[in-house]
Structure 1
Amino acid sequence: MWKTVRICERLAVHLKNVSNCKRTFLSDAYRCDEAWKKRLANPLLEKVDLEKLYVLISQKYSKASKANAVDIDIFANAIRGDGEEIDELIDLLSKLRRTSETSQMLDSTQYAVVRSFMKANRIDGLLTVLHDRLNYGVFPDHCALNILIDSLVKSKDYTSAARAAVLLMLQEDFENEISNALVVYACHMYLKNPGDSWKEPEPVIDKSKEVVKVRVRFLRNPYFDDHFDLQKPAHLVGKTLAMYGKHMGDSIGRTYQLIGLTLYGKYDAATSLVKEWTQTDTKQVLYRDGLELVKSELAKIAESEITDQIKALNEELKMLAAADLVNESLEAAMEKRVKDTVSQFEEKDIASQLEAFSEWEKTRQSVIDQQLAELDKQQRLENIAKIKEDLQQRERVLTFFENEEQIDLIIESRENEVEEKLTEEKPQNVEEENYIPPEVDSRARQTR
């Protein structure tokens, strides 16, 4: 009996794992896992001791405040496990960002950062690094972000998927079709299943009682760029949907554009769009469930916060009741759009990844060869300078008696220069010792 129970338990666990591993959009081939593992067969990465390399890079940075981009690349690509290497990688990325070498960061480094964090299941840390571009400067390519978003959607972590999707909006990047579709889908699923982990950063409050006054040449007026300064999740997701919906251009895109502008708080722009659609009698203008989502978002606004712009938008939305609306599911339509896009462009992305892996190895080796050549050149120049100095010393020794009179003259001239300098400084010192302030001198004269 117990044997039967154990078999059933194992079967249930197996079925659960199979269901969890079920493919969503990207195939297993898209990840190029086997080709990515082959990088470790490179002799340069195969023999790397990550602990020693980390110590060497840290020592070099502490002594000269310098970090080498190719050293960080080797460290990131040589990571095999999921232990302390991730924390060390974060530290090295921060060090590199504080040097002029940050502009030389290799593309393979940024891809390896994403894959290493994902393997270690450090998603929160990865998103922190990706969003903190000022301190880490990591800008992953489309394929890395596609793999990240797809894996987060597969695990139903829609909040993290939306946070990753926002990165492409901030870069205003529309080049990869699979990325465009996954970004919109991730944001849609986040709106359907909002999480509590993504919150607006709390403002820093200075609780110190001391008043510190600092003299400044001029005061800067507060500035909000309405892009990189966005902090609220609703605004970030809203602007993402608005931008990518506009890029799509069809009924799905128009629906997401309207949803995005509403979340983004751009009510005037949303009202103008609705007016344009109603006046031009656009066919299949919106998805009905998308329109209901917009109305529900507007209904959440407190009465004290309702403005004239919101009232105008509500009035225009009423005009859409008689418009040509699509009655199908918006989520199902977007899911089909993602699958169609993946089937059309997946092979192209896989080929570009495989080509990139090969190019990255060549680039890394080329950079190392250039640096070795530069080090060899510097060593040769130092050796030549040392040889020249030795030859000059030997020449002075061998020709001493021939040039004795000239050497004596040089020594005598230098001694005279020293004496002249001392005599010039001596009167100044005497005057300083005998100096009497004007007031004291006048009083002394009066007593006399």
Structure 2
Amino acid sequence: MSSELKYLSGFDNEFATEDPRCPGALPEGQNNPQKCAYGLYAEQLSGTAFTAARHENRRTWLYRIRPSVVHTPFQKIDKGLLTHDWDTVEPNPNQLRWQPFDFPEKNQDFAQGLATICGAGDPKSRNGIAIHMFLCNKPMEDKCIYNSDGDFLIVPQEGTLFITTEMGKMNVEPNEICVIQRGMRFNVDVKGNTRGYILEVFSDHFQLPSLGPIGANGLANPRDFLTPVAWFEDREVSQYTVINKYHGHLFAATQGHSPFDVPAWHGNYVPYKYNLSNFMVINSVSFDHADPSIFTVLTCPSLKPGVAIADFVIFPPRWSVQENTFRPPYYHRNCMSEFMGLIYGKYEAKEDGFRPGGASLHSMMTPHGPDLGCFEKASNAPLKAERIAEGTMSFMFESSLSMAVTPWGNNTKVDKNYYKCWQPLKKYFNSNNKDSNVADALTKK
């Protein structure tokens, strides 16, 4: 079995893996022997403070052909449409929706194709988030990127990502996600037009949400998160470019060898992927519409208990069986910011207008909810057990931060008619008839 198809399974486990071409590359006993096998160098990648509590401590030991410090000085390069300047565009509390973002007209790779839509906070103080699109059509070739500002949660929407990391390889397809954590070098190969979403968190790392009364099982299962096994290449090149995202800017250094020269590693600070179809949906089987927090796959907590810097939430195919209930999402104003994307299919609350590869943003306390068609249909539908969201996967990046839109987000593919989907909602109130309802009003049309 090829290395890109073999995975270690788990979420918070301690992993130990070596490329079979170098048996015994992993040391026995102490982490850092005086002399590593095969003449390798030991290097630790720390994702948390050295003194973090044991259950929160994240670090991995890499046994590599050359230490990662072997490169020329970093020089600032063009960052394109990547930005963490949240003060360029005037604040706008309105509901926003974007049509599918266009694929690039010229050749550009993953690093060149990063475009920031919105965000809040500051990577220098390690508090905040950014939401990006990636729009690319060519492989990175002899180039890699790593992020000093935060973690990338990557959601492909069109095209497969063939990702090489220092810990091994991952292929990530639409309806899968992957997380590349702070400091991990990775290369992305693509075959033609490729598009997707990125949630970047500056504050901490993603983790599974607490299950509370749900119990031991449900939502995303830890054993379904997949981590690559060790794979290395001992390859010298005339120039390999290492790109660093730092303080919201891009910098490049060069070196004469591949950075993916790690025959063995062990630790718990790793890249990982997850197939969204493995999510175990929890839902109401009696009445009422449960809050969307029951669909949380991963969360990045804030310092305030129960409040997230960012949640990654999905709305997968599921059964709807509630009685005496308006089943679609309820009309809502929220103290959180809600950014939604669509991987494929039609979102049940807005079957028209919200399209795969597009997005919407409902900012803090800005009202939103089903459009007219969804409201009237759901208000009169027979309340029998039915499958909803079949052939659909939508998701939400939800944050306790109040996000600002970038110039690119403000001027690219914006649906200026989005507000009109709610304008036809009409008054059904009749003070003389307690039983007046939508069906009566529709009959009188």
State whether TM-score is above 0.5. no
TM value normalised by structure 1 = 0.21
Larger helix share, 1 or 2:
1
Asked which structure has the greater RCO (Cα within 8 Å, sep 6+), the reply is: 2
